[in-house]
Amino acid sequence: MTARAVAKRKPAYLRKHGQILVAPAVIMLLAFSLAPLIATLRFSVTDYRLLFPDVTGFVGLANYRNLIANPDFWPALVNTILLVGFVLASTVAVGLGLALLLERAVVGKSVLRLLVISPFFVMPPVSALLWKNLLMQPVSGFFAWLASMAGVPAFDWFAKAPLLSVALIVAWQWLPFATLILLTSLQSFDRDQREAATVDGASSTSIFRHLVLPHLARPIAIVVMMETIFLLGTFAEVLVTTGGGKASTNLAFLVYSQAMLQYDIGAASAAGIIAIIFANIVAFFLVRAVGRSLEV
């Protein structure tokens, strides 16, 4: 066969094999995302309780109406928004400051990065329990010692402000992510441009406002969207610290407690759909943002 014949055959060869090779991954994702999504939708309009498995039937939007009337629902929704909002605001603001600092630091850059990135690799139950016990415990925790040094009474974190306590722990876990991404894009910032601006007599604040911040707008948007997707699912931190309780229950925990503690599959599925809708609003923008940088 001549090279030319092979080249001619190429498109068909690639098309055929390409379809075969991409198929297993597509099937796997269909099975574990689209199929459960459809099933959740179906359960959410069904009367389905694990204690009475025989009584099932289409109930329209009754589960959603019950969910909205459920006294646990609105606090869970508000808690979810507060948790996500607090963590986003604090990780982006502190992460930006930290990234600017790390970029300027001159000694021990790689060790600095290791220290800063570490909390991201800690599994949620570990960070939640270490914070709750070693740091926030009001009798012999480290923060209680700091308070005693400052001469103020120790704060009982989980009794007085359970949601804030959980939010602080989650923010600590996600701060490295925001910092690392902002640092990476700061380092790709065109140094020539900055030097040219300095030579032209621009002050460092105006360089920051007119050159650096616009350059960071996109990575900040990506951080906000990625974190939102993950934060909507915050679960383990709530489970191991407060074990629910109205003050710290979020949507993810509500789904869990409706299904696993109340055995109400229909209501849990309706709550799950609400969580999906929230995630999808964010996902819409995220997929568009990623799609713009994808050259295919």
Partner 1 sequence: MRRVRAGSAALTVLAWAAALLLAFPLLWALLTSFKSELEALEFPPHFVSFHWTLDGYRAVLADGEYFRSLVNSLVIAGGSSAFALALAIPAAWALAFAPTHRTRSILLWMLSTKMLPAVGAFIPVFLFYRDWGLLDSKLGLLLLLAASNLPIAVWMLFSNFREVPGEILEASRMDGASLPQELAMVLAPMSLPGIASTFFLIFTLAWNESFWTLNLTTAQAAPLTAFIAAFSSPQGLFWARLSAASILSIAPVLVIGWLCQRQLVRGLTFGAVK
Options 4, 25, 55, 152; binder of partner 1; rule CB under 8 A = 25
Spell out, one character per residue from 197 to 226, where the chain touches partner 1: x when CB under 8 A holds, - when not: ---------------------xx--x---x
* Residues in 141-160 that interact with partner 1 by CB under 8 A: 142, 144-145, 148
Among positions 116, 166, 167, 170, the unique one binding partner 1 when judged by CB under 8 A: 116
Rounded least distance, CB 60 to partner 1, Å:
19
Chain positions 255 to 274 lying near partner 1, rule: CB under 8 A, are 255-256, 259-260, 265, 268-269, 271-273
Report the nearest approach of partner 1 to the CB of residue 90 (Å). Answer: 12
- Please count the residues of this chain forming the interface with partner 1, following the rule CB under 8 A: 113
Residue 245 interacts with partner 1 (CB under 8 A): yes or no = no
Contacting residue, 10, 65, 160, 210, with partner 1 by CB under 8 A: 10
Interacting residues with partner 1 between 68 and 97 (CB under 8 A): none
Contact stretch for partner 1 (CB under 8 A) within 34-42, 54-62, 195-203, 205-213: 34-42
DSSP readout, the chain? --HHHHHHHHHHHHHHHHHHHHHHHHHHHIIIIIHHHHHHHHHHTB--BTTBTT---B-TTHHHHHHHHSTTHHHHHHHHHHHHHHHHHHHHHHHHHHHHHHHH--S-HHHHHHHHHGGGGS-HHHHHHIIIIIIT-TTTSHHHHHHHHHTSPPP-HHHH-HHHHHHHHHHHHHHHHHHHHHHHHHHTS-HHHHHHHHHTT--HHHHIIIIIHHHHHHHHHHHHHHHHHHHTT--HHHHHHT-S-TTT--HHHHHHHHHHTS-BHHHHHHHHHHHHHHHHHHHHHHHHHHHHT---
Q: Does 236 bind partner 1 (CB under 8 A)?
A: yes
